[in-house]
């Protein structure tokens, strides 16, 4: 049941404006205003799996007016289904200006030398030819590809429809209209389906977030004619129930790109294509996660380019209370300013208890290598296609989604990408890694433009795995290539500014898109929360003879990120029973060898312990290893990611070896004198010589103990105590028969005597 606040039910506008706060933009000072919105309605839905497709007919009033093919009238000049004579002509191709030397200096002009990373999944998503349990559905241009990945499921939204897949590509739900998630909610969110909807997976809470803007003006409420609709899952299952909210807006909520932060869901959006103004809103994440009475706070920022808010990847959140970070490219397309040499940063702090304290910092410019918007920005004729004069749009005026945040423990990183002109003559992906200093101010750590040839790489989306490796998916094209999708990556240890792996081809385009120049608007990269190593990426291509695009979903891993651990010890097996008992000490400095898809050696620490981190990615070899230590049989372990194989303990004892063997000597009777056959020593106490030869045992122990001298203590295998070495020799000499087994083993160099101190064995 939908619930309305009393004020909302009475039609009262719940908007509280604070005093203006001045921000510094690269070109002019601007004002920021803060508003607070209560939900016009919120509820907990039935499970999504039980909701039927809303069946909302896609019509002009329900779609993004910027989206070609949004079901608008066939006479509309932006409709790809309109007859050619009714279409608005494409703008002419842009002649790129020369790339300045400082911009060319950061270009990577050849592909990485390592073999391409492997695609561990690749399947078609929504688009032409899609057919799921709820059917297909028309997919409009541009696709506005949005992708989120959970523990078992992948959720994709394309413009105004979505579907749920398992990780092998099987469709388990969809396609349905995006507003199906608001079925039964009532109000605008249920009534109107809309493009530009986005899905995110909140890795910090293991929840799914749907955000759907309502672009069409609701004439019955002129003071708040637009809405932003939120749905947050109540659990990890994307087909389960959702907490649903509608927040009404005064300003047009175009191009939302949600971001997860501990204190809120941050949603930047444009307020229109003809104004240089952006809306940065924050929804109360804590309340939404419990289905509570959440509010939304918004700031209006004038004179700024398209904003992106930092979006958390991985299990490590930022420090408690850390403000969210927003970034924007420089330049202003509406003023025909297409180049800049900075990225502009804001810090946005929200205070739910006292909204008057919510504020954005002044903009700070981080100097970067100069850049020029690819083809002068958005809605331009940019990427050439074979067999047609129609070119594709590049959206070169903005930082693309997502602005990725990663807390690696000893440092925090932010990744940003945009599409720029390159000196080879095509388009390239400019990417940055920023890091945060002690004051939480971002600074440039590395930058590069990926431009290995004169073709076009554009509309990228980045990610960073748990080891700090970076992956970037992007569209690839330029005659004679049809537009398709590729992926490139780097190891954290690669030289700064280099994508060290050759690019991977996710899918080759097979046909030109001729019905519109609009292409994607954005793509998505998401990290798999099950391993924090797998990059999931989605982008578009056209199949041969297709009438519209098909999206392609791929998953990639950098070799070495998936790893398992093997831990254990080398210890002194005091009682020789082959297992480590309490009190049996470890031996430091002992080698432990491993062999398999990779081979190597580790050394035990001072306590005798070892811990191996071994590659465990079946895409790059069988993760089965033989682990061995001196004197013990090898142990076979099979790893998969996050395996922690423990208690691989190798028993060891110290071998007492006589350098010449332990001598068996004889007493013989010779004129009343006791004579040793080999050595002259005093006869053992109480022994009388005999005329007949009598076999007795006298020990000559030239002992190898790796540094043990005669005063070192060892275990007596007969009595079980710990005498000094010299005393044990005396005991064996005095009681030859009782110690005969030890002597015989010594003679074969096979006796084991355990020192009382691990260091006594020495390092082998």
pLDDT score of 718: 82
> What is the average pLDDT value for the chain, to the nearest integer?
83
Q: What pLDDT, on a 0 to 100 scale, did the predictor assign at position 726?
A: 67
For residue 186, pLDDT over 60 is answered with yes
- Main-chain dihedrals φ then ψ at residue 480, nearest 5 degrees: -90, 20
CA atoms within 13 A on the CB side of 228: 33
- The SS3 assignment for 646 reads strand
Is the pLDDT reported for residue 627 higher than 80?
Answer: yes
Where, residue-wise, is CATH 2.60.40.10 in the chain?
563-652
55-64, 80-89, 438-447, 521-530, range with the lowest pLDDT: 55-64
Give 730's pLDDT tier (boundaries 50, 70, 90): confident
> Which pLDDT score is estimated for 50?
95
Q: Is the pLDDT of residue 64 over 70?
A: no
619, burial (CB in 10 Å: exposed 0-12, middle 13-18, buried 19+): middle
State both tokens at 525: 């990269």
In CATH, the architecture of 563-652 is Sandwich (2.60)
Q: Does the pLDDT value for residue 703 go beyond 70?
A: no
In this prediction, residue 20 carries a pLDDT of 30
What pLDDT was estimated at residue 736? 67
For residue 154 the two structure tokens come to 């992948």
Q: Which residues, 6 or more positions from 286, have their beta carbon under 8 angstroms from its beta carbon?
A: 263, 292, 352
The number of angstroms, rounded, from the C-alpha of 632 to the middle of its chain's C-alpha atoms is 39
Determine contact, residues 174/161, Cβ cutoff 8 Å.
yes
Q: Is 186 left (phi over 0), alpha (psi -120 to 50) or beta?
A: left
H or E segment to which residue 285 belongs:
helix 285-289
Least confident of 129-143, 151-165, 577-591, 647-661: 647-661
Instruction: Look at 748 and 53; give whichever has higher pLDDT.
Output: 53
| Distance of alpha carbon 109 from alpha carbon 103, whole angstroms | 12
Which comes out higher in pLDDT, residue 679 or 751?
751
pLDDT at 272: 79
Q: What pLDDT score does 753 carry?
A: 52
Residue 551 β-bridge partners:
540
Percent of the chain with pLDDT over 90: 66
pLDDT the model gives residue 587: 84
Q: Are 145 and 257 in contact (CB under 8 A)?
A: no
350-373 per-position pLDDT tens digit: 999 999 999 999 899 999 999 999
pLDDT at 714: 66
In sequence order, the β-bridge partners of residue 405 are: 312, 414
pLDDT of residue 310 exceeding 60? yes
């Amino acid at each position: 049941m939908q619930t309305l606040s009393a004020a909302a039910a009475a039609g009262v506008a719940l908007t509280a404006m604070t005093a203006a706060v001045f921000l510094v933009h690269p070109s002019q000072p601007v004002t920021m205003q803060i508003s607070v919105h209560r939900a016009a309605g919120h509820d907990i839905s039935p499970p999504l799996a039980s909701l039927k497709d809303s069946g909302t007919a896609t019509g002009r009033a329900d779609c993004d007016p910027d989206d070609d093919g949004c079901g608008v009238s066939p006479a509309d000049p932006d409709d790809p289904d309109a007859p050619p004579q009714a279409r608005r002509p494409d703008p002419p191709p842009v002649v790129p200006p020369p790339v300045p030397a400082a911009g060319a200096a950061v270009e990577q002009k050849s592909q990485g030398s390592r073999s391409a990373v492997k695609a561990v999944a690749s399947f078609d998503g929504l688009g032409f030819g899609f057919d799921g349990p709820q059917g297909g559905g028309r997919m409009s241009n541009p696709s506005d590809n949005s992708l989120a990945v959970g523990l078992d499921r992948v959720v994709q939204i394309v413009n105004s429809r979505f579907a749920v897949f398992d990780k092998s590509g099987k469709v388990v739900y969809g396609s349905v209209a995006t507003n199906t998630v608001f079925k039964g909610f009532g109000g605008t969110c249920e009534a109107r389906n809309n493009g530009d909807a986005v899905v995110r997976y909140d890795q910090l809470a293991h929840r799914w977030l749907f955000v759907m803007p309502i672009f069409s003006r609701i004439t019955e409420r002129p003071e708040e004619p637009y809405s932003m609709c939120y749905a947050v899952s109540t659990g990890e299952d994307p087909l389960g129930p959702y907490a649903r909210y509608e927040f009404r807006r005064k300003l047009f909520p175009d191009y939302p790109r949600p971001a997860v932060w501990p204190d809120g869901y941050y949603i930047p959006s444009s307020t229109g294509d003809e104004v240089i103004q952006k809306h940065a809103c924050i929804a109360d994440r804590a309340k939404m996660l419990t289905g509570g009475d959440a509010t939304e706070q918004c700031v209006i920022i004038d004179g700024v380019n398209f904003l992106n808010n930092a979006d958390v990847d991985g299990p490590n959140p930022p420090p408690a209370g850390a403000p969210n970070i927003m970034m924007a490219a420089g330049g202003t397309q509406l003023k025909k300013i297409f180049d800049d040499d900075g990225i502009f940063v804001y810090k946005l702090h929200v205070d739910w208890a006292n909204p008057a304290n919510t504020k954005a910092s002044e903009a700070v410019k981080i100097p970067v290598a100069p850049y020029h918007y690819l083809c002068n920005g958005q809605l331009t004729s940019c990427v050439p296609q074979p067999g047609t004069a129609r070119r594709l749009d590049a959206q070169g005026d903005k930082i693309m989604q997502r602005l990725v945040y990663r807390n690696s423990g000893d440092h925090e990183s932010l990744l940003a990408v945009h599409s720029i002109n390159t000196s080879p003559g095509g388009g390239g992906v400019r990417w940055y890694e920023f890091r945060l200093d002690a004051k939480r101010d971002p600074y440039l750590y590395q930058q590069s433009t990926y431009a290995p040839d004169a073709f076009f790489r554009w509309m990228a989306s980045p990610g960073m795995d748990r080891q700090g490796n970076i992956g970037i998916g992007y569209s690839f094209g330029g005659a004679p290539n049809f537009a398709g999708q590729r992926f490139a990556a780097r190891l954290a240890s690669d030289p700064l500014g280099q994508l060290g792996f050759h690019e991977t081809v996710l899918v080759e385009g097979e046909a030109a898109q001729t019905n519109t120049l609009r292409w994607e608007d954005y793509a998505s990269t998401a990290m798999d929360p099950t391993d924090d190593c797998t990059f999931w990426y989605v982008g578009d291509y056209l199949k041969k003879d297709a009438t519209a695009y098909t999206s392609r979903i791929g998953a990639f891993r950098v070799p070495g990120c998936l790893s398992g651990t093997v831990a254990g010890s080398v210890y002194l097996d005091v009682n020789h029973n082959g297992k480590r008992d309490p009190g049996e000490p470890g031996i430091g400095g002992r080698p432990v060898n491993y062999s398999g898809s990779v081979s190597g050696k580790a050394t035990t620490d001072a306590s005798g312990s070892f811990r191996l981190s071994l590659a465990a990615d079946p895409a790059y070899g069988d993760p089965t290893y033989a682990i061995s230590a001196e004197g013990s049989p090898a142990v076979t372990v099979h790893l998969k990611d996050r395996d922690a194989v423990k208690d691989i303990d190798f028993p060891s004892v110290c071998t007492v070896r006589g350098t010449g063997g332990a001598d068996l000597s004889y007493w013989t009777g010779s004129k009343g004198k006791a004579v040793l056959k080999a050595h002259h020593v005093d006869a053992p106490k109480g022994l009388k010589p005999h005329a007949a030869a009598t076999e007795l045992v006298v020990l000559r122990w030239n002992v190898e103990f790796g540094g043990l001298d005669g005063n070192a203590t060892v275990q007596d295998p007969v009595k079980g105590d710990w005498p000094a070495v010299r005393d044990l020799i005396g005991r064996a000499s005095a009681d030859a028969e009782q110690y005969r087994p030890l002597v015989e083993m010594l003679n074969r160099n096979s006796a084991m005597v355990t020192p009382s101190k691990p260091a006594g064995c020495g390092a082998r």
